[in-house]
């Protein structure tokens, strides 16, 4: 997790990420409407919110924002955009 450590990925976030072993940790570095640019240890790629995540959010504050740590389903966008399943920075989970 060397690359993410440069983005502030602390031991607390590493510990929390272990609860989501099927996903990959990342940090949102920019946002373009419904598309987020995420950095992981493997690189940068675009991701969107999982449908369940999007439908549970009742206010804009419940959506991920730039700087939030997220759990995504892949480490690159070779097969299309990644999917964001949880947001650890602000305790937004599905």
Can you give the CATH number for the domain in which 41 is found? 2.40.50.140
Q: Which residues, other chains included, contact 2 with Cβ-Cβ below 8 Å and sequence gap of 6+?
A: 41
Closest CA relative to residue 46, chosen from 61, 26, 16, 60: 26
Tell me which residue range forms the domain holding 58. Answer: 2-93
Over the stretch 15-72, which tens digit does the pLDDT of each residue have? Answer: 878 888 889 999 999 999 889 999 998 889 999 999 988 888 888 888 899 999 999 9
Report CA-CA distances (Å) from 2 to 11, 33, 78.
12, 29, 22
Q: For residue 58, count CB atoms less than 10 angstroms from its CB and return exposed for 0-12, middle for 13-18, buried for 19 or more.
A: exposed
Q: What is the pTM of this model?
A: 0.82
The count of structural domains within the chain is 1
């Amino acid at each position: 997790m060397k690359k993410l450590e440069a983005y502030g990925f602390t031991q607390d976030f590493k510990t929390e990420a272990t609860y989501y072993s099927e996903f990959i940790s990342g940090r949102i570095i920019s946002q373009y409407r419904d598309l987020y640019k995420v950095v992981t240890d493997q690189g940068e790629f675009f991701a969107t919110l999982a449908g369940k995540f999007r439908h549970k959010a009742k206010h804009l504050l419940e959506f991920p924002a730039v700087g939030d740590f997220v759990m995504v389903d892949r480490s690159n966008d070779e097969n299309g955009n990644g999917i964001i399943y949880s947001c650890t920075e602000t305790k937004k989970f599905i």
